[in-house]
Structure 1
């Protein structure tokens, strides 16, 4: 916000006396927000801002496609819990990040996306490289802004960051016309943010917490369902303390993995379409289901008429719009998961020990574990994931693309710590995994990062190998190569009479030579007896590596809750 009041401090006075271009105001605002890295791609309408990035020497990662830039920013945001910042130009540059914005919105990732725009005087005239980004992104952002005067620029940036991280996190877009970025104004970042119409409830109602605890005392078969909201609230310690104190079994959503230690006895694994038998049956047989930070997505619930039919349901969520949206809730608790769990941990009173229930859940885990059949020297993808876990001892950040390899990773890689798992959940975006790994590696340079991807999804954003080459980032790309769109093929097999319409790849690129073209080490393995050696060689290399693993082509993901059925109707459960 620009005004002429006297500054309260010498530094503020210096700032207010300095005449800046809009681009400089923008970048000073980003610096004031503690932004350490920007992901982006330049073009005509955003050139004044890129000129200022050059002058100020800001840390900028040049993607090779705007989709790569925004997915990398998503990976950075997922690991740091800070807003990922992406800057692109107008028109096609801006529309190329729409998928990433929608992805971040579905998965509640804090993002500030800055798009260049044509000059204000030609907005609405179909000018060269003009796109209506306010209209396009209105349904897929927490909020979007278009700057129409230099005076509003700094305060808009401040509000954008506040909105992105407060309440339920999400993406905020700032559309910056080129003439505004070139105009002169005075930088003032002292004005506090006050948005009367946006006041998220953080502190849960004590009475609702009491109702939840009272109901829990009556329950015989309680279960916790944990979603990404626990991770966004940085509440893993509180969740673990609550589950341990009251000995409650814990099922997790795809995006909630890592919120509760994967090797804990109370951990049931992932629930939902490809969840474990124990997790799904615990939900189905529960008499008291406590959902913390999950939005009851359809891939989790299956057919709603069969979902947790015997359970009283409590739902803790910072977004009141999610409570009761899909599933009827008896005990709603609006508030931050960390605050709610801290209050629950303090709860006391006579609690049923639930010994019989825990024994039942334990029996399900023992009798119906995840499984696969070995086949000589053929590499099964499930075993690949298990070996990656063993070789890294779980001390790695793992990203995936979307499809079968995503489900196998969620099933077989045990996430024992928060913020080690990055995947596209709600939108299911192919091409996400590899650039997200780049953002994660920049966020955590000391941790190994595995980009586990399919042969199809990798080809959508493989050009971002240029970033690995340029920065020598030690990301390990693991291509699970089954020469097909694996999940599409599985559904065609199960639901479309084995008519494999355009899901098989009779010809593939030589991935090793592609990697070598970017001066990246390549390793290829197609025999089980050589798999351990190939993984060890990959992980031991100090720089980036592409590991191509040729796996069984017709392997399917099981168990599976087919569309229209409930958790009690799982296919492919097998062991006993």
Structure 2
């Protein structure tokens, strides 16, 4: 049947079983939005800003395990997506970003709202496509979705010239379940991307070698990274922890890959890692990192990282091996597949003496309690006590992010949504919107700071309009807290441009402007009542904002300065 390019795009999204799109219309993408009007089975969420749409599609993808979809128009619409695209890329989140560009005859002529978005985003995507031929549109969309979800997941950009969206050609439906069976996609993939689409098969000799290394180890330790979460390998990882009887540290992106409540977990590792995690890393004789990038926030000083241990790296992406930390052994493969192969070969081990040593160190930071002054621990403990245990938590970036990861325990993949690699302020509210849209049965809590909330707080309009009951909790210290912490400890209290005193709105009035309720909390006694009210509003399909006043001098403990040995605690 003959269809316009815009309708071919919508039919391809239907093929991919897309049920939600986040986006913002504009001139060049109007043909697509006109076609969307007839596809009532697909929900479109109109955000306040394209960056909010990008983060929402990302949060949807992380929390559901599906591919997120985001629309934007050309020029500033497309460039407003770039921070969200980079955020998804750094954290391996599968999102397809679809923009439309000016007609082909205007490309390269500095036409109104023209930009080379495929060139701009090439370094921060798995692939980019500029579609100039309507006959190639359907296969391009199919390829993009396959690429986004395959191997190490990641974002893909499709830019379609406006004339392609109005041109007609024959369209032949190809249901998603037939894509792999027919081998149709395999013939479409350009040679450069073949390795990205294939799931690497773990080498059995490499697996056997690790089995031998585990048998020889007396003090094994595990790191649960984001790859465990992306692979949804949490059950296999839990069994692996039990089988080799080893303590396990969790990276920021690994939250939910193993339950934070598990007696074997030692908490976060690295710059703000627990004493138990960092001490275990420093004293183990075998370190097995699964789906972990060994970033500079984990391996702060690579040359001394786990210096007494043989280091083993399990990762789906060969490019990560020996990139930051030199390993003694590695296995290339999907976390779920590799863990299953190991479980088939491993006997039961016991390392009681080693575990007792590791677990003698603090696994969670203790912060001072007060009846008159609100502390971060009190806020988070009350959230944990009052909210459902399976609540999804989306954070922004900074002190509140670290406090949340330290004190809230995540039990399953997609329960923690945070910008780990790119550190994007303003990520949280959009991600929470996407998570709520994809998980209507779950309570969704957005934890942010006053600095972060000022960046994308406009998305409260989206929360209010669509009746998305997101609970926003603001850690309001009237400062850019994490930067101030560094200035306190390293820059001799020279607080250059970090004070937000008298620069932020009244956040409760701000919420009210969107028709949402809110409350300012200054004392612990007020907190429980505020959360109870927030949950009641959430049950009625309404968002809520809690503005928590905390001391400007509150700091994240522990802290190891960048470039220093993992046990050189600046704060402990």
Q: With the length of structure 1 as denominator, give the TM-score of the two structures.
A: 0.94
Deviation, structure 1 residue 395: 2.1
1:44 correspondence with 2:27? yes
**1:250-276 deviation digits (Å, cap 9, x = unpaired):** 111001011111111101111011011
**1:232-260 deviation digits (Å, cap 9, x = unpaired):** 11100000011112211111100101111
Aligned to 1:362: 359
Contact 1:155 1:189 in 2 (8 A): no
Moved more, 386-395 or 81-90: 386-395
**CA distance in structure 1 between the aligned counterparts of 2:10 and 2:438, rounded to whole angstroms:** 20
Count of matched residue pairs: 553
Aligned to 2:519: 523
**CA distance in structure 2 between the aligned counterparts of 1:235 and 1:271, rounded to whole angstroms:** 20
1:173 correspondence with 2:157? yes
Contact 2:388 2:443 in 1 (8 A): no
**CA distance in structure 2 between the aligned counterparts of 1:335 and 1:352, rounded to whole angstroms:** 24
1:104 correspondence with 2:88? yes
Residue 78 of structure 2: which of 77, 87, 94 is its match?
A: 94
**1:417-460 deviation digits (Å, cap 9, x = unpaired):** 22210000100001100111000000100110000111111111
Aligned to 2:419: 424
Aligned to 1:396: 391
Aligned to 1:3: none
Contact 2:23 2:46 in 1 (8 A): yes
1:481 correspondence with 2:476? yes
**CA distance in structure 2 between the aligned counterparts of 1:64 and 1:563, rounded to whole angstroms:** 36
Aligned to 1:55: 38
Aligned to 1:544: 543
Contact 1:88 1:94 in 2 (8 A): yes
Residue 532 of structure 1: which of 528, 534, 545 is its match?
A: 528
Deviation, structure 1 residue 116: 1.1
Matches of residues 115-514 of structure 1 in structure 2 within 5 Å? 115-190=99-174, 192-194=184-186, 195=189, 196-197=191-192, 198-199=194-195, 200-349=198-347, 353-365=350-362, 369-507=364-502, 508-514=504-510
Contact 2:269 2:277 in 1 (8 A): yes
**CA distance in structure 1 between the aligned counterparts of 2:364 and 2:170, rounded to whole angstroms:** 63
Q: Secondary structure at the match of 1:61?
A: strand
**CA distance in structure 1 between the aligned counterparts of 2:137 and 2:205, rounded to whole angstroms:** 42
**CA distance in structure 1 between the aligned counterparts of 2:304 and 2:328, rounded to whole angstroms:** 17
1:85 correspondence with 2:69? yes
Moved more, 165-174 or 525-534: 525-534
Q: Secondary structure at the match of 1:145?
A: strand
Deviation, structure 1 residue 387: 1.5
**CA distance in structure 1 between the aligned counterparts of 2:64 and 2:349, rounded to whole angstroms:** 39
Q: Secondary structure at the match of 1:346?
A: helix
Q: Secondary structure at the match of 1:31?
A: helix
**CA distance in structure 2 between the aligned counterparts of 1:354 and 1:115, rounded to whole angstroms:** 54
Aligned to 1:10: none
**CA distance in structure 1 between the aligned counterparts of 2:533 and 2:320, rounded to whole angstroms:** 46
Moved more, 169-178 or 522-531: 522-531
Q: Secondary structure at the match of 2:132?
A: coil
1:30 correspondence with 2:30? no
Deviation, structure 1 residue 62: 0.4
**CA distance in structure 1 between the aligned counterparts of 2:246 and 2:343, rounded to whole angstroms:** 12
Contact 2:245 2:349 in 1 (8 A): no
Deviation, structure 1 residue 201: 3.9
**CA distance in structure 2 between the aligned counterparts of 1:355 and 1:472, rounded to whole angstroms:** 51
Q: Secondary structure at the match of 2:222?
A: strand
**1:513-562 deviation digits (Å, cap 9, x = unpaired):** 11111111112110112212222221222221111111122101010011
Q: Secondary structure at the match of 1:56?
A: coil
Contact 1:523 1:538 in 2 (8 A): no
Q: Secondary structure at the match of 1:425?
A: coil
Deviation, structure 1 residue 348: 3.1
**CA distance in structure 1 between the aligned counterparts of 2:413 and 2:110, rounded to whole angstroms:** 46
Deviation, structure 1 residue 352: 5.3
**1:354-379 deviation digits (Å, cap 9, x = unpaired):** 221111012113xx641112244110
Deviation, structure 1 residue 34: 0.5
Contact 1:381 1:552 in 2 (8 A): no
Moved more, 318-327 or 562-571: 562-571
Aligned to 1:561: 560
**1:484-529 deviation digits (Å, cap 9, x = unpaired):** 1100111111111211111111212111111111111112110112
Moved more, 95-104 or 297-306: 297-306
**CA distance in structure 1 between the aligned counterparts of 2:529 and 2:55, rounded to whole angstroms:** 31
**CA distance in structure 1 between the aligned counterparts of 2:85 and 2:513, rounded to whole angstroms:** 31
Contact 1:219 1:352 in 2 (8 A): no
Q: With the length of structure 2 as denominator, give the TM-score of the two structures.
A: 0.95
Q: Secondary structure at the match of 1:273?
A: coil
Deviation, structure 1 residue 319: 0.5
Contact 1:398 1:420 in 2 (8 A): yes
Contact 1:154 1:189 in 2 (8 A): no
Q: 1:116 to 1:23 in 2, by over 3 A?
A: same
Q: Secondary structure at the match of 2:319?
A: helix
- Stretches of structure 1 lacking an aligned partner (at least 5 in a row): 1-17
